Homo-oligomer: A and B are copies of this chain.
Amino acid sequence: MSLSVDTPLHPSRDEIELAAVLHALSDPVRLLMVRGLFEVADGRSCGSFDVPVTKSTCTHHFKVLREAGVIQQRQEGTRRVNTLREEDLDARFPGLLGTILEAAGPLPQLTART
């Protein structure tokens, strides 16, 4: 058997549910990740986040964010790159992401900016 690169499932724009988005953003670590992805057009890989959790927990958090429709994940070789679905979220729930990120305040030093 070869290693399979699974294609992650994403909800379509219309399938994005408010409760799921709020749940995804209700975890402080996931909120940090989303703040680290904001306005980063090319996205970031899991490994680029300096968050205080193990790699498997990090992977889990990204899965929750993806399944809620908050982020898009794409495979680039061995890296899984994450981008924020800003356009989809703004179309579905105008102003929501921006208001939540504003409420979260400036990004702390905890998350790497690269």
Q: Is the interface of A mostly helix, strand, loop or mixed?
A: helix
User: Are A19 and B27 neighbours in the complex by a CB distance under 8 Å?
Assistant: yes
- Judge whether A53 is part of the interface by a CB distance below 8 angstroms: no
Closest residue of chain B to A105 (Cβ to Cβ) is B18
Instruction: Assess A26 versus B19: contact at CB under 8 Å? Given A95-B99, A96-B100, A99-B99.
Output: yes
Cα distance, A22 to B20, chains bound together (Å)? 10
Enumerate chain B residues within 8 angstroms of A28, measured Cβ to Cβ: 19
Residue positions of A touching B, CB distance < 8 A: 18-20, 22-23, 25-28, 31, 92-96, 99-100, 102-104
- Top 9 closest A-B pairs, CB basis? A23-B26, A22-B26, A93-B103, A99-B99, A22-B22, A19-B28, A95-B99, A96-B103, A18-B103
